[in-house]
Every structure is written in C-alpha cells, then in structure tokens.
Amino acid sequence: MKERQYIARRSAEWEAWDRWLAAEGPHAVAPEGDSPGVAGLPQRFRRLCHDLALVHDRHYSTALVEELHRRVLAAHQRIYGAGEPQGQTWRYFLGAGLPLLVRSEWRLVLAAALLLLLPLLVCLLAIQGWPDVAFLLLPPETVGEIEEMYAPTASHPGRPRAASSDWAMWGFYIANNVRIDFQAFAGGIAFGLGSVFYLVYNGLYIGAVAGHLTQIGYVTSFWGFVAGHGAFELTGVILSGSAGLKLGAALVAPGRRARLAALKENARVAVKLLYGAALLTFAAAFIEAFWSPLHGVTFEIKVGVGITLWLLTWAYLLLAGRSAPRAA
C-alpha cells in the first residue's frame, strides 16, 4: 500500500488521538467515535504503536515516522501519567533515534560520504604518483607547517608550536571541527550547492595533507596520530553534510509543498543529524587532544584502536535501534 493511501485510511483515528491529547485533564474524552475513548484505549494504543512500526518497516517518509512517534510518546505519557524527562529523551536519541534517522536518510548520508571520501582517496593516491599535486591544493607555508607538526621527531604530534597544552588543543580542535561541520550544514541553504562544495573541498584538503605526509615517509607519525579520532571526525562531517543536503533537497525538490514549508519540515530532520554530528565532533576532539599525541602507545595499537572505532561507529549507526519503534 502506498504511503498516501495508508495516511488516508488511518488519518481519522490519528486525528482522534490528537483531539484526545489536546483535551484538558488526563481522562478527558470526546464523544464516542471522535476520540480514543476510555473503553477502547488499550486496543487503540496498540494499533497506534502498530502504525508506527509499520510505517518504519515500509520506509515511509521521515516526517510521517516522526509524527507518529511523537503521537505514541504523548499517548504513552498521558495514559501512564509519565512526564517527558530530558534525560530519557536523550537516551532514546542516542540509543535509537540517531541510528534510525541515519538509516531513514541513507541516500543523503551515502551522497555526503561519497562527496567527502572519494576526493580524499583520489587525492591521496594521486600524490603518491605525482607528488607536486599536493602543491596545487596546499600553499607552501601550509605544507611546511604540517611537515613540522607531524615530523617523527615532533615532541607533540599534531600540535602547532603556539599551543600550550592538551586542553588548549582540545578547544582548538572543537572550534576547527565545528567550523567545518557548520559550513557543510549551512551550505545547504544555497540549494545544497554549498554543502557539496564544502564536502568536496574538505575531502581534497584532507587527501592532500594525508597524501603529502605519506609520500614523504611520515606514515607512522601521521597515520598513528589520525587513526584514533578519524572515525568520529569524518563521520561527523558526513552527517553535517547530509544535514545540509537535506536542506537543499527541500529547496530543489519541495514536491507539492511550498518551498518554505518544505524547508521547515526538512530542517527538523536536518537539525537532528547535526546533533549527532556535534556529539561525534566533541568526542573526536577529545581523542585528538588526549589520545592521538601519546608517544607511549605503539603505532600498531593506535591503528587497531582506530579500526575498532570505525567498526563500532558504523555498526552503531547501521544496527542500533532496530526494535525501538515497536517498543515505543
């Protein structure tokens, strides 16, 4: 059954729930047949939960999933007299909401990943055969700075000479990562073109840095440094870029909605993707400041931790929360 047909079939009961939830008092009931009513409440609540599970399994629109999820939560809280503690909301978001959202927006997430990672890999590999490519993308002073920062003899890998402590670098990394994430997100307002530009640009830039340092032999010092935080940092950029593409999609293809209405609707989804990106960005900055520069940890361990974090990050996004809609 198509989404539009399903909405038409079930909308009357959903609207009855809305009227019941808007009524004063926990036992307020509209005339029979116009609201869930007390007598048939358990059966109707089970049908509402079934609706949520069904629209999720059939991959109907994110807006419909969000709308039904809001209704189920509100009905559950009204029936059982529960409040809506923020801690519980965040636990749901981290445990199920973010992975479910990423999977529902998989096309945009995949597009953002390709726009970032393909230029990165192409640039990295190209520089191994043609080292001068790095100087087409990086100014000579930048090349000098990164060589100094990631030299095998550097006392604090990845840290500019002016930085005074690991805490100062944590603040620097947060500011830098947030700037990149925000550019990838906010660029979506330019019909998605800004997000595309910043994803490709950052992919080329990172690929040029990684390619040059690999080509001159700084493999252990550079890759040992970036291995630990790469999963969180790059995934954060991908989610920010997909959030920007979500904004752009509302402007490029609003469907039957007005562009402003489509933008408002898509922005609600995009902001949640940005929340996930922010959490990953803060975690990446912490690892980058306090774990990545450690000298007492071998290259093999750092790479092993990095691979493990990549596997855990994407296992979480691809697998977590599969039973959450039915449990709502």
Whole-angstrom CA distances from 18 to 13, 76, 311 are: 9, 13, 42
Tokens of 21: 């939830």
- At residue 316 the predicted structure's pLDDT band, cuts being 50, 70 and 90, is very high
pLDDT at 145 over 80: yes
Let me know if 206 is exposed, middle or buried by CB neighbors in 10 A (0-12, 13-18, 19+): buried
The percentage of the chain sitting over the pLDDT mark of 70, rounded to a whole number, equals 88
pLDDT at 162 over 60: no
- At residue 255 the predicted structure's pLDDT band, cuts being 50, 70 and 90, is confident
Tokens of 240: 């920010």
How open is the CA angle 29-35-41, to the nearest 5 degrees? Answer: 80
pLDDT at 164 over 90: no
Region of poorest pLDDT, from 12-26, 178-192, 296-310: 12-26
Mean pLDDT on 201-214: 96
The percentage of the chain sitting over the pLDDT mark of 90, rounded to a whole number, equals 50
How open is the CA angle 16-268-46, to the nearest 5 degrees? Answer: 35
State CA 134 to chain mean position distance: 30
Instruction: Return the C-alpha torsion angle 10, 12, 18, 23, nearest 10.
Output: -150
Find all residues with CB under 8 Å of 291, minimum gap 6, and list them: 228, 229, 297, 305
C-alpha–C-alpha distance, residues 158 and 284, integer Å: 14
Q: What is the CA radius of gyration of the chain?
A: 24
Cα dihedral 276, 67, 54, 90 sign: positive
Tokens of 214: 């690999």
* pTM of structure: 0.73
Q: Do 71 and 47 form a contact (C-beta atoms < 8 A)? A: no
Q: Which helix (H) or strand (E) holds 40?
A: none
3-class SS letters over 232-290: HHHHHHHHHHHHHHHHHHHHHCCCCCCHHHHHHHHHHHHHHHHHHHHHHHHHHHHHHHH
Tokens of 310: 């990549």
Pick the closest to residue 19 from 2, 5, 33 (CA basis): 33
| Most confident residue range from 80-89, 91-100, 118-127, 254-263 | 118-127
Beta-carbon count within 10 A of 217 CB: 10
So where are the chain's domains?
3-84, 104-324
Higher pLDDT, 86 or 74: 74
Pick the closest to residue 68 from 94, 37, 107, 100 (CA basis): 100
Q: Do 208 and 143 form a contact (C-beta atoms < 8 A)? A: no
C-alpha–C-alpha distance, residues 35 and 53, integer Å: 22
pLDDT at 81 over 80: no
> What's the pLDDT score for residue 89?
78
